[in-house]
Structure formats: structure tokens, C-alpha cells
Amino acid sequence: MIRHLFVAGTDTGIGKTHGAQTLVHAFRHAGERVAGMKPVASGSARTPDGLRNQDALDLQAASHPRPAYAQVNPLALEEAVSPHLAAAREGVCVRWEPLDEAFAALAATHDRVVVEGVGGWMVPLSDELSMEQLPQRWQLPVVLVVGIRLGCISHARLTARAIEADGCRLAGWIANIIEPEMPLVDENIHTLRRHLDAPLLGTLPHRVAPAEAAIFLDLSLLG
């Protein structure tokens, strides 16, 4: 049975955090203790408590029991650029150890950890590390959030192919309606269902909060 999950996106800005939060709420509705995690986050604000990324804060707020921020987001970077560039410019060395420790701590106190990536599937974290290595390292099945907009079919199929080529399992995908005025939305989703070798877990309506959108996901399809 699937326990922990990695949430990937077809691109930046397609609602990956929204999908991850919705998964957290759906598992919570099923009675589980669930933590959201964003191991690496660029685009963080300076606060009295240190750097804080809004996506990570949203995942922390969705989690129950609520974990410490440092466990949700062990590596926060200030500049809103690719993590490897932000880390280099900020003099930060990206290492596995703090990420591994944070994940292990969450897994020890929660039934399930929903881990959100950054950007698309193959975002570099440093000269040596890349985001797709994280689900490989932690042996996490992948849920792909597909932002339904023009170009989503090719982006989703290419990402699914890369996930498989990297030795990871695509356990399911979520259709996130980000452009409700897009022509032929239903037809695009139908095409994706035919071409992606994984179940559609649900379609998230436009601008419905994650706690309410959770009812649109069928977790039983994850197996």
C-alpha cells in the first residue's frame, strides 16, 4: 500500500501546491495524520523567524498534527529563481542530510507525508543534485499535477515519460483547472486519460480551496 507520496507538476505555476494541499486534506478526511512537505523552496520572505516560503507555510497549515516549519521546509532560499541559482547566489550548499532528517522526522510522527517538489520534474538543486533524485532517494510514488491549459497534453506526456525513465512510478495524476475559459477542457482531460498510464485521481475546480476541493479526489485509485 502506498504510504508517502511525491507531488510533481508539469511546470511552474500550474497549482502543484494546491494539488499537494488538497491531497493532504483528502487523507486527513480519511482519518489520517498527514504532513505536507516542501524540502526545497526558493522565493522566500525574510521574517523575524527566518526565511519563510508561502507554499511551505500553506502545507504546514494544512498538516495535522502541525509540524515545525524546519521539518516542512528544511531549505528555504530567498530569491524566486531556480533553486540551484538561488543557492549559488546566497552561498548555500545544498546537501541531502538536512532533507533526509526532516523527512524522517515527519514520517516518524505522521501516517503519511505528501512531499511537493519545486518547479517541474527536472529542476536542478545544485551542480550535483536534481529534484527528480528526491523521489528516487526516498522511494516515493509520484502524483502528477497537470495544469489544464494549452500545451498541457504534451507537457503531461513528456513528464510522465521522464518519471518512468527515471525509475519512479506514476501512481496517479490530478487535473487542475487553472484556465476555466480554455476551449475543450473536458476533451483535453479525456485525451490525457487515454495517454497517461495512471489513474486520474480527480479534477480540481477553479478557485476552490483545498479543504473543500478534497472531495473531488478518489484516493482509492492510488491502491
| Residue 38 falls in the annotated catalytic set | yes
Grid cell of 91 as nine digits = 552561498
Handedness of CA 57, 62, 66, 72 (dihedral sign): negative
Residue from 166, 175, 178 nearest 198 by CA = 175
- Catalytic residue selected from 38, 84, 112, 149: 38
Q: Which residues of 16-55 are buried (b: 16+ CB within 10 A; e: fewer)?
A: bbbbbbbbbbbbbeeeeebbbbbbbbbbbeeeeeebbbeb
User: Which residue do the cell numbers 485521481 mark?
Assistant: 201
CB proximity list for 161: less than 8 A, separation 6 or greater: none
Phi and psi angles of residue 116, each rounded to the nearest 5 degrees, phi first: -100, 135
CB 121 within 8 A of CB 168: no
Active site residues: 38
